[in-house]
């Protein structure tokens, strides 16, 4: 018999101290794979808690910015080491609180370590530039300066990796942060916060607010009105992202928005079908389809369409699903809210669609079983995988981000049709094409609107030193990861230093170069 670990009580942490009150009420976090397992009791903050955290961050930020960047990098290095030393424990908590298979949980924690390792050196490489002046005895420089206070709100499908994409570079650049994790992953929010706080950050530089989404929105709104926040980072739905963009725009700020996706995977007639099916299986059904980069629609050439659908159906039917502590393709839905929404999205399946991939549809139960299920389906929020073939550009299923184990398959004849299907839904996060023709690969890259393109790889699988982000309904063009995220958490400052001892006016006191422009070579 498996022993259930005791529940922990977690709360907001402001200026280095936990809050013992619960002005926002109390919430219980349960294991979605074992609903009788209470992971955490959380004392929720309210909008004032969020404002208090932003004020604490504002008070601490100036001294942190004055700390030399290589020293700030040392703190990031120590955070990375702490995460590495606690890798298995944190991964086990990821599996327990959101139901991600343990192998994926280990990979998620490794992503934090990789992010810290990358940004350690950026503490010595926050380069500006020297720029030649058009006048003598004058030097021009550029410097990166921290934005100030960053308010970060993240989702729970990647409850520790994605927050690190914001938190690590923001802190390294000299900002103070207020982080609101997903309310359905509060134990993970607390665990990651403890690792950051024990890495050497001064009190107030890193603050955690445990609260619900609408409360965080109100807190950000009030903090912006009081001049306490200089940058908002948000990972979540496109609808909420629009509201945050509107709010920040009223304060002349540009948020960093990483939103949803309806990610296409194009299969050309010359594709390696076995490889394409493997990529579709992982990107469509890994994490139970609950990634922003999950495959939305496979767009398959008519000459290989039937073969692809048959192969993918067989692969999904044979894939192990169930207990995330075992070797499975995917485990449960993250939370009851996602299970309820997924059941609604199943209602987008129409009569002209063909559904395959499992022995049932909807929630896996003893009355609606899945052949080969691993574990006890009654224990958690487990759902059948669904392959929906026959999807067309007119279908609501084609246009809607479906956060769960469902993949559409559409047919195309000409390349232009594939491009239209890849773009017409308005999302632009991730994409993939399977082909051995370099012309098709380059043409796809040129014409797809997605911010990320994979060739003969899945739509999921970002590396920490490559820019991550989307366009259209998937984001506002902001990029995370690698050196590109530095532009989110720094501002450029230009300096001109004139030591001529007299006022030199740009564009006016500039020496001319005399030339004889009437000169012509003889015929």
* Other C-beta atoms lying within 10 Å of the C-beta of residue 179: 25
Cα–Cα–Cα angle for 123, 125, 128, nearest 5°? 120
Give the residue-averaged pLDDT of 303-320. 98
The pLDDT tens digits for 208-259 are 999 999 999 999 999 999 999 999 999 999 999 999 999 999 999 999 999 9
Q: In what order do the strands lie in the sheet with 149-153?
A: 17-18, 13-14, 206-208, 176-180, 149-153, 231-235, 256-258
| Separation CA 492–CA 211 (nearest Å) | 33
Q: Would you place residue 58 in the very low, low, confident or very high pLDDT band (cuts 50, 70, 90)?
A: very high
Copy the structure tokens of residue 360.
């049932």
Which H/E stretch holds residue 314? helix 305-318
User: What pLDDT does 523 receive?
Assistant: 86
The pLDDT tens digits for 71-118 are 999 999 999 999 999 999 999 999 999 999 999 999 999 999 999 999
Q: Is 407 helix (H, G, I), strand (E, B) or coil?
A: strand
Strands (DSSP E) found in 104-237 = 130-131, 138-146, 149-153, 176-180, 206-208, 231-235
Q: What one-character DSSP code corresponds to residue 7?
A: P
Q: What one-character DSSP code corresponds to residue 6?
A: P
Give the residue-averaged pLDDT of 303-329. 98
Q: Are strands 17-18 and 13-14 parallel, antiparallel or unpaired?
A: antiparallel
| Separation CA 236–CA 353 (nearest Å) | 29
Give the residue-averaged pLDDT of 264-292. 97
Which H/E stretch holds residue 51? helix 47-66
| Separation CA 366–CA 340 (nearest Å) | 19
Give the CA dihedral 449, 455, 459, 464, nearest 10 degrees: -100
Contact 245, 239 (CB under 8 A): no
| Residue whose entry in the numeric block shows the structure tokens 């009788």 | 36
Catalytic pick among 116, 248, 256, 292: 292
Q: Would you place residue 2 in the very low, low, confident or very high pLDDT band (cuts 50, 70, 90)?
A: low
* Other C-beta atoms lying within 10 Å of the C-beta of residue 118: 20
Q: Is 401 helix (H, G, I), strand (E, B) or coil?
A: coil
The pLDDT tens digits for 179-206 are 999 999 999 999 999 999 999 999 999 9
CB burial readout 428-445, b (16+ within 10 A) else e: bbbbbbbbeeeebbebbe
| Separation CA 178–CA 153 (nearest Å) | 9
Q: Would you place residue 1 in the very low, low, confident or very high pLDDT band (cuts 50, 70, 90)?
A: very low
Query: pLDDT at residue 425 above 50?
Result: yes
The pLDDT tens digits for 13-56 are 999 999 999 999 999 999 999 999 999 999 999 999 999 999 99
Average pLDDT value over all residues in the chain:
96
Q: Which residues contact 299 (CB under 8 A, 6 or more apart)?
A: 264, 265, 266, 267, 410, 412, 418, 421, 422
Q: 256 catalytic, yes or no? A: no
Q: Which residues contact 227 (CB under 8 A, 6 or more apart)?
A: none
User: What pLDDT does 5 receive?
Assistant: 77
Closest of 95, 97, 108 to residue 41, by C-alpha: 97
**How far is CA 404 from each of CA 252, 345, 435, rounded to the nearest angstrom?**
36, 9, 27
The pLDDT tens digits for 127-163 are 999 999 999 999 999 999 999 999 999 999 999 999 9
Q: What is the DSSP string of 207-256?
A: EE----HHHHHHHHHHHHHTT--SEEEEES-HHHHHHHHHHHHHTT---E
Q: Would you place residue 3 in the very low, low, confident or very high pLDDT band (cuts 50, 70, 90)?
A: low
């Amino acid at each position: 018999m498996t022993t259930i670990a005791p529940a922990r009580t977690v709360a907001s942490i402001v200026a280095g101290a936990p809050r013992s009150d619960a002005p926002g009420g109390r919430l219980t976090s349960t294991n979605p794979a074992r609903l009788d397992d209470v992971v955490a009791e959380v004392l929720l903050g309210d909008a004032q808690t969020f404002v208090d955290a932003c004020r604490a961050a504002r008070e601490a930020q100036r001294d942190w910015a004055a700390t030399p960047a290589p020293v700030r990098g040392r703190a990031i290095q120590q955070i990375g080491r702490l995460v590495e030393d606690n890798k298995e424990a944190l991964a086990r908590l990821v599996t327990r609180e959101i139901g991600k298979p343990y192998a994926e949980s280990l990979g998620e924690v490794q992503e934090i370590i990789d992010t810290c390792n990358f940004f350690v050196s950026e503490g010595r490489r926050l380069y500006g530039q020297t720029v030649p002046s058009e006048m003598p005895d004058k030097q021009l420089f550029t410097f990166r300066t921290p934005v100030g206070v960053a308010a970060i709100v993240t989702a729970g499908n990647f409850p520790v990796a994605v927050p690190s994409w914001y938190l690590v570079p923001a802190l390294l650049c000299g900002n103070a942060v207020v982080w609101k994790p997903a309310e359905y992953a509060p134990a993970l929010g607390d665990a990651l916060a403890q690792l950051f706080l024990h890495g050497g950050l001064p009190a107030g530089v890193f603050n955690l607010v445990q609260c619900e989404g609408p409360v965080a929105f109100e807190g950000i709104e009030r903090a912006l009105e009081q001049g306490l926040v200089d940058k908002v980072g948000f990972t979540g739905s496109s609808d909420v992202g629009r509201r945050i963009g509107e709010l920040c725009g009223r304060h002349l700020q540009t948020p960093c928005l990483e939103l949803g996706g309806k990610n296409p995977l194009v299969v050309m007639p010359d594709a390696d079908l076995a490889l394409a099916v493997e990529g579709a299986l992982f990107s469509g059904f890994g994490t139970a389809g609950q990634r922003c980069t999950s495959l939305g629609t496979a767009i398959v050439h008519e000459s290989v369409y039937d073969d692809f659908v048959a192969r993918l159906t067989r692969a999904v039917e044979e894939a192990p699903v169930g207990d995330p502590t075992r070797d499975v393709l995917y485990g449960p839905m993250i939370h009851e809210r996602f299970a309820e929404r997924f059941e609604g999205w199943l209602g987008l399946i129409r009569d002209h669609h063909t559904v395959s991939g499992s022995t049932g549809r909807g929630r896996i139960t003893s009355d609606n079983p899945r052949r080969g299920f691993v574990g006890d389906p009654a224990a958690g929020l487990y759902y059948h995988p669904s392959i929906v073939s026959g999807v067309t550009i007119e279908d609501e299923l084609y246009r809607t981000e479906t956060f769960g184990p469902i993949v559409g398959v559409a047919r195309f004849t000409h390349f232009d049709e594939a491009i239209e299907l890849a773009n017409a839904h308005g999302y632009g996060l991730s994409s993939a094409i399977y082909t051995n023709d370099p012309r098709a690969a380059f043409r796809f890259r040129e014409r797809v609107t997605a911010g990320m393109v994979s060739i003969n790889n899945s739509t999921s699988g970002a590396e920490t030193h490559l820019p991550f982000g989307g366009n259209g309904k998937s984001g506002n063009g902001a990029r995370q990861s690698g050196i590109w995220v530095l532009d989110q958490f720094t501002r450029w400052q230009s300096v001109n230093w004139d030591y001529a001892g007299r006022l030199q006016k740009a564009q006016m006191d500039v020496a001319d170069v005399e030339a004889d422009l009437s000169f012509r070579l003889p015929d």
